[in-house]
Copies of this chain bind each other. A is one copy, B any other.
Amino acid sequence: MTQLKSEIIAVGTELLLGQIANTNAKWISQQLAMHGIDVYYHTVVGDNLLRVQDQFNQSAKRSDIIIVTGGLGPTDDDLTREAFQNISNVEMVEHKESMNKIETYFKKQNRGMTPNNKKQARVFAGAHVIENNVGMAPGMVVSFDNKTWIFLPGVPKEMKSMVTNGVLPYLGKMTGDSKVIKSTMLKFIGIGEATLEHELSTIIKHQTNPTIAPLAQEQGVAIRLTAKADTMEKAQDLIERTQNQIFEKVGTYFFGFDEQNLEGKVFGLLKEKNLTIAAAESITGGMFTDKLIANNGASSVCTGGIVCYDSKVKENVLKVASETIMNQGTVSEECALEMAVNVRKLLGSDIGISFTGVAGPDATEGKPPGTVYIAVSINQNRDYVKKFIFHGERQTIRNKAVQKGYELLLKYVK
């Protein structure tokens, strides 16, 4: 079969005013890519009947599948139905199930229903109706003039549920045996993007399927492998072969696939090895423990921590020696090390980690913003402390400190 061309139109003035980003188009594109359907355009058009009609006419000329999000609601601003009716002359009929649902809803709420609300139950004659499990307006797939039109609500939760349960199965049947696309992200930490690309240059040059795309990330660097094949298994096989070549070169920096984040990885390793951890956080203010406790089952990994932003808390609660604070200062190797050792002992954990530094905007104890000491304590022989200079604003420095802490731990526990 020939490869189908699709495009996505979002209807909504709020997008053109910059109130929200078109994340619907991003999400739908990902789903379609996975299912081997190419997306050629995203368009946003406002709640204006003539402009929506113009866009529909133009899209019909260039695409086989046109997915429209938004404009199906009950208000006068919701013009998607009218616009399509005007260009197609396809009749609208009441969808009984949807009308029942709307009526039941209003009865339950003890509220009167206005004619506007009924509008949401109107569908195109002959349309394949996609039930809305999350909201009111149903979705529709309409075949018209050899093109497939798919109408979905703009509310992300409703749209996503309908794409997953209705649109993708429908398109799967329609496209039959078309190629599938499988995409995997490999994540690395401790290696720069340039070095990674250099190390992989020969592989990248000789590779077409899967394609290899390096991507800068908030945490480290990622490589996206995208393979096209007749079946998901074959695509997976292509990806694994290239993946292994990549691991041979830079495997030591690899920490996870796809949605895996560094904190989750470290959490998983600690759990696997039955190790508990506690943190003494000054500059990072609780952010380090927060990211551990975000994980299910955190109680078996993180005992807790001391947020010792005030130097008196370092001294009185964490029992850092007053001589250390007096002579070396709170932003020092010595203070960091005592913090890590003491929090481990005080909270009865296997590992202690500490963060002390200058987040800025002002210098502290004569040290410039970005100066951070991180110490890790497991037992006296493996305790260590390291100084870092991070660049950026206050929050960037704090984020980088936390990330570096997880990076250090990854080496310890992997």
Contact = CB atoms under 8 A, between A and B. Distances in A.
A309 B303 CA distance: 6
The quantity of this chain's copies bound in the complex is 2
Nearest to A27: B18
Contact of A304 (B32, B292, B298, B310): B310
A21 interface: yes
A22 B25 contact: yes
A44 B215 CA distance: 20
- Residue from the set A27, A40, A284, A398 with the largest chain B CB neighbour count within 10 Å: A40
Main secondary structure of the interface of A (DSSP, over half): mixed
B29 A17 contact: yes
A294 B33 contact: no
Nearest to A314: B304
Given A18-B29, A287-B286, A306 B309 contact: no
A309 B299 contact: yes
A305 B318 CA distance: 11
Interface string A335-357: 00000000000111000000000
Interface string A1-34: 0000000000000111111111101111111110
A154 to B, nearest CB: 13
A17 B299 CA distance: 39
Contacts of A46: 40
A340 to B, nearest CB: 15
Contacts of A196: none
B43 A41 contact: yes
A128 to B, nearest CB: 24
A69 to B, nearest CB: 13
A42 interface: yes
A150 to B, nearest CB: 16
Interface in A152-202: none
A41 to B, nearest CB: 6
A275 interface: no
Interface in A257-308: 279, 281, 283-290, 292-294, 296, 298-299, 302-308
10 contacts: A17-B39, A21-B23, A21-B26, A283-B293, A286-B290, A293-B398, A299-B309, A302-B309, A303-B313, A313-B347
